[in-house]
Amino acid sequence: MKTTVKQVETYSRLVGLCTENGSMFNPAKDSIKIEALESLLATARQKHQMVNDTHHTLMSAINNRNDALIEMRSKCTRAANAAVVLIDQPSLIEDIKKNLSKIRGYRLGAQQVKDAPSETGPPGQEFKKSRGPIAYLTISSKLDHFDKFIKCLNTPAYTPNEPDITYEGLHAFLAEIKVMQSQVSTGWSANRMARDQFSAIVHSADGIYGISKLIKTYIKSVFGPSSNAYHIVRQLKFR
């Protein structure tokens, strides 16, 4: 992207040089007349601004989503501890702990331990952290585990006083994160499209790259290959 932006600035210098030649720069081809060159430059800068704007929107959406995922882990830890106190069903508690470990990105060990470190889950966590975190866990996987975690809490015995970790509160929070993830996807698509459009107007045959070649050829034909005007524009590189 830096190279593409640099090409726009180089093209801006080329347009300036053409303008400085005044009436001597008078091509018959419409696409390399001063008005067309300035219009192409303005469009390229507009496309670059779109890249910046969509990038800002995307980063904002990602930050919001990531903050929500951190909050999700915290809520799940609190809910799991509340479940241990409220639910007298060992098999259900085990499922809750399994899903909590998956949400946190830990592999479930084959061996059981009596007293796991506190950061791996609520008191009595039976799954070892020794195998290390999962190398990569997609957002959709995390949300899927969160959904399963919430469903485990859909039992009459689970009645915490804290609204945000009730079954209804967690379910509503899951819906919020899904909306945030959708905004990330939309933002990524918009930024990708803006980047493609910017790249096309810079590198295409009818964009900055192609037009610059025509300008150089025109200046060479008018001023001559050994002229100072052609020597200057020849040093401007476009790729």
**Residue range 121-177, pLDDT digits in tens:** 444 444 444 444 444 468 888 899 999 999 999 999 999 999 999 999 999 999 999
With a cut of 90, say whether residue 15 has pLDDT above it: yes
Q: What is the pLDDT of residue 3?
A: 79
- 165 secondary structure, DSSP code: G
The CA R_g of the chain, rounded to the nearest whole Å, is: 30
* Spatial separation of the C-alpha atoms in residues 116 and 111, rounded to whole Å: 11
Do residues 210 and 29 make contact, with C-beta atoms less than 8 angstroms apart?
no
Residues 6+ apart with CB under 8 A from 168: none
- In degrees to the nearest 10, what's the CA dihedral of 97, 101, 104, 105? -160
* Spatial separation of the C-alpha atoms in residues 161 and 174, rounded to whole Å: 19
Query: C-alpha angle 61/42/202, rounded to 5°?
Result: 75
Mean pLDDT across the stretch 67-95? 95
pLDDT confidence band for 93 (50 / 70 / 90):
very high
Q: Can you give the pTM of this predicted structure?
A: 0.77
Phi-psi region of 224 (alpha: psi -120 to 50; beta: other; left: phi over 0): left
Of all residues in the chain, the percent with pLDDT exceeding 90 is 74
Mean pLDDT across the stretch 16-40? 92
**Helices and strands in the chain, H and E counts:** 7, 0
